[in-house]
């Protein structure tokens, strides 16, 4: 036990030194164009094909072993108001009272090509890895919630009700992808409103739909350029802003995040050491309590 604690603290100290060195290294102020990695997968959501059945929401909970959020329905059916600690995927309804125009919109992590959450996480709990998926490692997370604050799409949620809270967000069903399966939401959709595929194929598909049916869509693909591009792409007959998808330029957010954090860190190197120590203590306590819980279960 003593050795592992020392190892953990040593590893934390090394990680902190590396983080400080990396963070304080001058960063380029001009954002380079972001290119999807060759193995990048994607999700294309076409709002004109969505009937709001929410099969994708149930499938998402099932794929992620999450209980449905039935709080607002008195325990009767899944009815979250927004993404939350039990909801990684949500279908919302937009309705224009003046014109009667309606549209559904699906929200989940966008799997940004250059994710701000990854840049903001000092301990590497969020990573962009295989297939371009932005995944989360709870064992490296200390609950600082910088990823939440940095996300331009307000995606990561926090388990406020738990003693050791984690971040909750769509990880593109990474376990299913590893087994050659498609994400739960895409598999469940009965109308093909949300489909899974290679990122470049889906982008080409979206362009083809726009070219073939210009009367059906607003003439852009949301996610093609916003914040440098996202692996989740949208087509719609309603302005994206009205659907709650924020308007952004093609400038990746991590550029700004890195600059802000660089300035913050320059003033807080001593507090950062304290932060690292606190992180080590928290992670050690969590491991000990988790170990005690396991011991109790085994007795
Ligand atoms: S949408 Fe937010 S949580 Fe998802 S990859 Fe982009 S920055 Fe990260
Ligand atoms: S990819 Fe998986 S986790 Fe993400 S929204 Fe779809 S079902 Fe949910
Ligand atoms: S399963 Fe498909 S059609 Fe049904 S709500 Fe989800 S995206 Fe829309």
- Can you give the residue range of the structural domain that contains 293? 1-31+256-299
How does pLDDT run across 29-61, given as a tens digit for each residue?
Answer: 455 689 999 999 999 999 999 999 999 999 999
Dist. CA 28–CA 259, nearest whole Å: 9
Distance 128 CA to ligand 2 centre (A): 16
Q: What is the dihedral of CA 97, 101, 106, 107, to 10 degrees?
A: -40
Give ligand 3 pocket residues (Cβ under 6 A): 50-56, 91, 104, 106, 188-189, 191, 193-194
**How far from chain centre, in Å, is Cα 205?**
24
pLDDT for res 2: 35
Q: Note the pTM of the prediction, 2 decimals.
A: 0.81
- How many separate domains does the chain show? 1
- Tell me the sheet residues that pair with 158: 167
Closest CA to 164 of 261, 9, 4, 293: 293
**Whose C-alpha lies nearest to ligand 1, atom 8?**
117
**Inside any domain, residue 159:** no
* pLDDT 10s digits, 185-240: 999 999 999 999 999 999 999 999 999 999 999 999 999 999 999 999 999 999 99
pLDDT at 259: 67
Greater model confidence, 173 or 282:
173
Ligand 2 geometric centre to CA of 82 (Å):
15
Pocket of ligand 2 from Cβ distances under 6 Å: 59-60, 63-64, 88-89, 108, 170, 172-173, 183-185
CA 89–ligand 2 middle distance (angstroms): 6
The residue whose CA is least distant from atom 5 of ligand 2 is 89
20, part of any domain: yes
- Contact in structure between 113 and 74 (CB atoms under 8 Å): no
Percent of the chain with pLDDT over 90: 70
Give the Cα separation of 167 and 187 in Å (integer): 25
43 inside domain: no
Give a yes or no: residue 282 inside a domain: yes
Weakest mean pLDDT among 93-107, 192-206, 255-269: 255-269
Which residue CA neighbors atom 3 of ligand 3 most closely?
50
Instruction: For residue 73, give both structure tokens.
Output: 């329905």
Q: Which ligand is the nearest neighbour of the Cα of 59?
A: 2
Q: Token digits for 14?
A: 């090394």
Task: Tell me the two tokens of residue 85.
Answer: 């600690």
Mind giving me the DSSP string for the chain?
A: -HHHHHHHHHHHHHHHHHHHHHHHSPPPSSPPPP---TT-EEEEEEGGG-----HHHHHHHHHTT-----GGGTTSS---SS-BTTBS-EEEEEE-TTT--EEEEEES---BSS-HHHHH-TT--EEE-GGG-EEE-GGG--S--HHHHH-TT---EE-TTSSS--EE---TTHHHHHTTPPPHHHHH-SSSSEEEEEHHHHHHHHHHHHHH-TTTS-SS-BTSSGGG-BSEEEE-SS-GGGGTPPP--SS-HHHHHHHHHHHHHHH-HHHHHHHHHHHHHHHHHHHHHHHHHHHHHH-
108 alpha carbon, closest ligand: 2
- Token pair, residue 188, equals 């469940």
The tally of CA atoms less than 13 A away on the side-chain side of residue 106 is: 35
Banded model confidence at residue 267, pLDDT cuts 50, 70, 90: low
pLDDT of res. 265: 56
Assess if residue 292 is contained within a domain: yes
Q: So what's the pLDDT on residue 68?
A: 93
pLDDT at 260: 67
**Which residue owns the Cα nearest ligand 2 atom 7?**
60
Instruction: Please report the atom of ligand 3 found closest to the CA of residue 191.
Output: 3
Query: Which residues, in sequence order, are bridge partners of residue 41?
Result: 198
Residue 27 lies in a domain: yes
Out of 88, 188, 194, 232, mutate this one to test ligand 3's pocket (max ligand atoms within 8 Å of CB): namely 194
pLDDT digits (tens, 9 = 90+) for 132-151: 999 999 999 999 999 999 99
Task: Look at residue 153 and tell me whether its pLDDT is greater than 50.
Answer: yes
- Residue 23 in tokens: 């963070």
Specify the residue with its C-alpha closest to ligand 2, atom 2.
173
Between helix 2-24 and helix 253-267 the angle, nearest 10°, is: 110
User: Two tokens at 3?
Assistant: 């050795």
Distance 9 CA to ligand 1 centre (A): 29
Residue with tokens 């932005």: 134
- Rounded Cα distance, 158 and 218, in Å: 34
The Å distance, Cα 164 to ligand 3 centre, comes to 33
* 267 part of a folded domain: yes
272, part of any domain: yes
CA angle 99/100/101 to nearest 5° reads: 90
User: Is there a contact between 44 and 205 (Cβ–Cβ < 8 Å)?
Assistant: yes
Averaged confidence pLDDT in the chain: 84
The mean pLDDT value for 148-167 works out to 96
Ligand 1 pocket, residue 55 CB under 6 Å: no
pLDDT at residue 33 in the model: 81
């Amino acid at each position: 036990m003593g050795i592992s604690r020392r190892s953990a603290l040593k590893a934390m100290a090394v990680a902190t030194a590396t983080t400080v060195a990396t963070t304080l290294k001058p960063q380029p102020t001009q954002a380079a164009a972001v290119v999807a990695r060759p193995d990048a997968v994607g999700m294309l959501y076409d709002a004109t094909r969505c009937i709001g059945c929410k099969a994708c929401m149930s499938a998402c909970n099932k794929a992620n072993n999450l209980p449905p959020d039935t709080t607002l329905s008195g325990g009767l059916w899944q009815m979250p108001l927004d993404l939350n600690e039990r909801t990684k995927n949500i279908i919302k309804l937009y309705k224009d009272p003046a014109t009667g125009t309606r549209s559904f919109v699906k929200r989940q992590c966008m799997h940004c090509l250059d994710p701000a959450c990854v840049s903001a996480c000092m301990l590497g709990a969020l990573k962009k890895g295989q297939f371009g998926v932005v995944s989360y490692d709870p064992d490296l997370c200390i609950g600082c919630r910088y990823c939440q604050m940095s996300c331009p799409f307000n995606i990561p949620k926090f388990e406020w009700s738990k003693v050791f809270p984690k971040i909750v967000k769509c990880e593109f069903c990474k376990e299913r992808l590893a087994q050659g399966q498609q994400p739960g939401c895409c598999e469940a959709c009965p109308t093909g409103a949300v489909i899974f595929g290679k990122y470049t194929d889906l982008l080409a598909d979206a362009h083809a739909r726009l070219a073939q049916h210009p009367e059906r869509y607003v003439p852009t693909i949301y996610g093609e350029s916003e914040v440098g591009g996202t692996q989740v792409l949208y087509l719609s007959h309603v302005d994206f802003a009205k659907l709650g998808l924020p308007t952004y330029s093609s400038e990746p957010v991590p550029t700004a995040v890195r600059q802000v954090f660089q300035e913050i860190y320059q003033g807080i190197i001593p507090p950062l050491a304290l932060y690292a120590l606190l992180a080590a203590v928290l992670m050690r306590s969590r491991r000990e309590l988790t170990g005690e819980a396991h011991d109790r279960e085994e007795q």
